[in-house]
């Protein structure tokens, strides 16, 4: 028991050291509670294509269709995380289109279904307004219910497109995308990416 507690504390310390926190939130997806601290891992933004790896890999290495891009990802192969923690979109305007891939990693030993959804939090960055109500129609999530194999990292394309002629009330505003495991448990972890939009 003591050994398990020490391992848990060591993992929590590692997560805090790299800027990843896990915040339990209510599992009700109809009215989700947004964590005060985003449970996301801020990794290198540049991505390389995933390549298949042998099913029996060396200890500490990915064992299914993943290619870790950093030492942090290798260390957190057994943790579930999302990356990046923040995306900035600048010089945006109605009629423009912005695309970015977020990454979700399944640290479980089983196939796991996740959800990815749009959200507006009442916690916002200083100098930014809450996203307009219409913004939920401007955000397109390529795969909102991905199923990931054990230790798999998947890239999910998120597109922001404001139709031409739309009047955006604020020049600087933000929204979040949240990801988490689809689960019947009363408490679960949600991981957030903050999107900061600056319009012309």
* Domains within the chain, CATH numbers bracketed: 23-48+79-199 (2.60.40.10)
Q: Are 136 and 116 in contact (CB under 8 A)?
A: no
C-alpha 104/C-alpha 179 separation (Å) is 8
- Cα within 13 Å of Cα(4), Cβ side: 1
Question: What b/e readout covers 71-96, taking b as 16+ CB neighbours within 10 angstroms?
Answer: ebbeebbebbbbbbbebebeebeeee
pLDDT tens digits for range 15-59:
333 333 333 333 333 433 333 333 333 332 322 222 222 233 333
pLDDT of residue 35: 35
Neighbours of 194 (CB within 10 A): 20
pLDDT of residue 188: 72
* Rounded average pLDDT over 188-200: 91
Instruction: Give 103's contacts (C-beta < 8 A, 6+ positions apart).
Output: 43, 47, 82, 83, 84, 153, 154, 155, 156
**Cβ(147)–Cβ(153) under 8 Å?**
no
Asked whether 60 and 74 are in contact (CB, 8 A), the reply is yes
Average pLDDT over every residue of 83-102 = 94
Spatial separation of the C-alpha atoms in residues 75 and 145, rounded to whole Å: 26
Reported as type and span, the H/E element at residue 3 is helix 2-17
Helix (H), strand (E) counts: the chain: 3, 11
Q: So what's the pLDDT on residue 69?
A: 61
Query: Which range in 31-45, 83-97, 183-197 is most confidently predicted, on average pLDDT?
Result: 83-97
* Tens-digit pLDDT profile for residues 108-155: 999 999 999 999 988 899 999 999 999 999 999 999 999 999 999 999
Where on the phi/psi map is residue 39: left (φ > 0), alpha (ψ -120 to 50), or beta?
Answer: beta
């Amino acid at each position: 028991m003591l050994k398990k507690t020490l391992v848990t504390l060591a993992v929590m310390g590692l997560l805090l050291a790299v800027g990843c926190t896990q915040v339990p939130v209510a599992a009700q997806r109809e009215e989700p509670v947004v964590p005060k601290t985003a449970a996301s891992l801020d990794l290198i933004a540049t991505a390389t294509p995933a390549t298949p790896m042998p099913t029996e890999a060396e200890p500490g290495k990915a064992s299914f269709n993943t290619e870790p891009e950093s030492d942090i990802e290798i260390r957190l192969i057994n943790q579930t995380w999302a990356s990046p923690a923040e995306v900035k979109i600048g010089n945006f305007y109605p009629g423009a289109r912005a695309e970015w891939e977020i990454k979700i990693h399944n640290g479980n030993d089983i196939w796991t279904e996740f959800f990815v959804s749009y959200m507006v939090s009442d916690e916002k960055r200083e100098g930014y307004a809450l996203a307009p109500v219409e913004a939920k129609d401007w955000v397109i999530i390529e795969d909102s219910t991905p199923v990931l194999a054990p230790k798999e990292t998947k890239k999910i394309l998120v597109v922001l497109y404001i139709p031409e002629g739309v009047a955006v009330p604020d020049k600087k505003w933000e929204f979040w995308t949240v990801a988490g495991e689809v689960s019947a448990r009363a408490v679960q972890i949600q991981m957030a990416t903050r999107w900061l939009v600056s319009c012309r």
